[in-house]
Amino acid sequence: MKNLAWLLLAGLPLAAAAQPRPPYVRPACAGLMFVSTDNNCAQAVELARRDVRANTLSLVLVSGEAPVIFTADSILERQFKVQYFEEGCVAPAKSCVVAYNHFVFDQLQATYGDTWRRKVRRDVVGLKEWMRKR
């Protein structure tokens, strides 16, 4: 009985401090796998527009079997309200990922100017091509 009382006293503060996790909203870019390359990946741009409207902006990464997460990723995600989305080892057509990411880059540029460029990961698909055009 004493052990139960101690367990309740020790565990109660931990349970009281626990907060529910915010619901995870799956971005529309998760559907890129099912987008065809017909129409110059117009469906990918539509998915990007849908993410902008839903305020779930994402930058798609394709790093293979073992996704890489850096501690600095959270800085960009908080400051610019964008999240990195890792496709994993089975990636959609690169041209569609590039079309999606270019739309997101344009949105970031219009909203934040050049400040986001210093903090974005260099391995985001299509970033180098987009920077050359600017």
pLDDT at 127: 97
pLDDT at 24: 56
Contact status, residue 41 vs residue 60, Cβ threshold 8 Å: no
Give the residue among 38, 62, 39, 57 at the shortest CA–CA distance from 47.
Answer: 57
**Helical pair 94-112 and 73-80, crossing angle rounded to 10 deg:** 60
Alpha helices by DSSP H, listed for 1-134, are: 2-17, 42-54, 73-80, 94-112, 127-133
pLDDT at 13: 55
Return d(Cα 49, Cα 9) in angstroms, integer. 51
DSSP state of 55: T
pTM for the model: 0.78
Looking at the DSSP bridge assignments, the partners of residue 123 are none
pLDDT at 111: 94
Return d(Cα 95, Cα 36) in angstroms, integer. 10
Tens of pLDDT along the chain (134 residues)?
666 565 555 655 555 554 454 555 678 788 887 776 666 788 899 999 999 999 999 999 987 777 788 888 988 899 999 999 987 777 788 889 999 999 999 999 999 999 999 999 999 999 999 999 87
pLDDT at 10: 61
Which residues have C-beta within 8 Å of that of residue 32, sequence separation ≥ 6?
Answer: 44, 47, 60, 87, 92, 96, 97, 100
